[in-house]
C-alpha cells in the first residue's frame, strides 16, 4: 500500500497515511485537531539510488530528508 499526503482544511496541518488505492481520495481524520475535513495533496514520488559503497541517497525530485515516511521528521523539520 502506498503513502498519501493530506492537508487538513481546518488547521492546515499536513500528514501522511498508508492507505489502499480505493481509499486515497476519502477524507482522513487529522492527527492534530481530529477534524475529518482533509483532502489528498499531490506529491512527488520518492526515488532512491544506492552507490557502489552502499550509501543510499535520495534522487532528484525526492524529499531532501532522504526517506522520511513518518508524519514528521526531526531531521528535515517536516
Q: Which tens digits make up the pLDDT trace of 29-70?
A: 999 999 999 999 987 777 778 888 888 887 755 444 544 554
Q: Count structural domains, the chain.
A: 1
Residue 70 included in any domain: no
Q: Find the mean pLDDT for residues 3-18.
A: 94
Is 44 among the domain residues? yes
pLDDT band at 76 (very low <50, low <70, confident <90, very high): low
Q: Where residue 12 falls among pLDDT bands split at 50, 70, 90? A: very high
Tell me phi and psi for residue 23, to 5 degrees: -95, 0
pLDDT at residue 78, as a whole number: 46
Domain containing residue 12: 3-58
- Domain assignment of residue 40, yes or no: yes
Comparing CA positions, the residue from 22, 16, 20, 21 lying closest to residue 4 is 16
Can you give the pLDDT at residue 68?
53
Sign of CA dihedral 22, 25, 27, 28: positive
**Residue 71 covered by a domain:** no
In a domain, 73, yes or no: no
Task: Output the pLDDT for position 60.
Answer: 57
Let me know if residue 47 belongs to a domain: yes
Rounded to the nearest 5 degrees, what angle is found at the Cα of 72, between the Cα atoms of 18 and 50?
75
Amino acid at each position: 500500500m502506498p503513502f498519501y499526503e493530506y492537508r487538513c482544511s481546518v488547521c492546515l496541518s499536513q500528514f501522511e497515511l498508508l492507505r489502499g488505492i480505493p481509499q486515497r481520495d476519502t477524507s482522513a481524520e487529522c492527527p492534530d485537531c481530529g477534524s475529518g475535513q482533509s483532502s489528498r495533496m499531490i506529491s512527488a514520488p520518492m526515488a532512491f539510488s544506492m552507490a557502489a559503497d552502499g550509501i543510499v541517497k535520495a534522487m532528484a525530485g525526492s524529499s531532501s530528508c532522504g526517506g522520511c515516511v513518518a508524519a514528521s521528521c526531526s531531521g528535515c523539520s517536516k
